[in-house]
Chain A
């Protein structure tokens, strides 16, 4: 439908809606996205920041649930932070509760085929934002992993807004996923408004930057923990022998021994 098909009143109404939408974007940028970017520059607690980003995105979209996944070195998406209001779930992050959900493989370990069965893995594999009104009815998708999760938890995953987190080399390093947008007035599950996508994407960019720092620190921590002291023992013996066989050293050794005995 183009503007030409609308009556003047409808056109005004449409413009008004557009203005409200832009104002909302503007407010979200000024009051949420930019302060978070500033927080990222100053914060040392990258984990808290990631959690704040997830919660902010969840509030912004009136989503019932939100999950932050991190891609690990084993080609899987690990659950890092999980929040779900109606399930009463608060796992990972500041909750302190461990997450025992198995990581989602990005590829079938046996066949190597890409795993399109979960919305999150699908977003990670394609690198694209996925906004679907109903995971059960989404055309061209077979989200059996998501449906299986629902069966276990008694949840009904309906609408999804799933945004891959890319680092500055465009590699997907995690996924930010919001589940079941709700109408603030009726409380009914509704699709995610396409207009919030750019804002959630901005938040995801920040989350990716925070993650990069976090991953780098974690890697460093691991390197330090696994400090390997490599000593070439042959070289060591050779060097020590060269010195200890000298007349100077043997004389010094004798004198030092005498000195200590006298003391």
Chain B
């Protein structure tokens, strides 16, 4: 082996003897402190994370050990020096401190900076009155932002009731018709086969093709979506309206001569529904994106026929407002619906819907869910009917109702209990003033 002249002191650090080794334990100094060693000669046995290994001197000289047998030392820390023969160099650095076994990490420490329970979340950029973030697609949000449209007022026509770009464009009528490049992202534009107004004559006679309005398209889409996605079932009841009819007569008499008309039987139904919903959160909820959404407010949509259309304006807080206030609200909204003057906020935020065809003489029907709501109540006409009371035939004013339910959130027993409560309230109509 060639000898190397060592003009300087050579440090001997704890060597890295394997990948991942971070510290080593000195088992044995195979060359003693003060011994003359040669390059390549084994000088120490070290225990690593994997095995015991020998380490060799990298230079010729006199070995000065700085760490003791049994010491555990970090990789890179000095364990010895090799000095040139004949030189006596003062030991300038302190010997390495043996590394104590690592203290167990404090598991509680990390949790110290955690959030308080119930700390408020930062506000969402759009805060509709229902308290939930608007279900709107990214492009709908962007376009709404660009045009200053409030998403809270919109009803969505996309999957799961998502507000999509077309809904936003529809809410800004001037802009919607302006741009020819705006895509008909809801599809279902009139078939190209015939232009509006053109006729084609066949077995069914002349065909007049009419392009639906945007609102009509929205209705078409939403009804189809409800049928396609929600598993529906219907719960029916026949409600004895004697008490309600009597109450209305009394109110009519009281209000005779004033400008305020008395509440209608339908207003009473809406009030009863509102009160009942307060105790039945699933009926006041929605199934969306695989989750139940239960709403804090009770906002009942009341279906009203508009000009050549169907709209469902919202009576807000129908659980707590008075019968009179609800009645006034419905009157006001119905008038606006007739004039086609309902605003988007008035059309949004509903948590349940009521649809009444009694004024057309309809006895009973079932309504289609208004997605994503869990339920809709279809109300028929109040008629004098033959019923059985205490085992005997009698004549009572009765009204048929049918509750259509989304079985993903509202199950049979819940639906039945809710409907029973509605009936209970209407059959003792004085409770409506509570």
Instruction: Determine if chain A interacts with chain B.
Output: no
Give the B-binding residues of A (Cβ under 8 A). none
Binding site for A on B (CB under 8 A): none
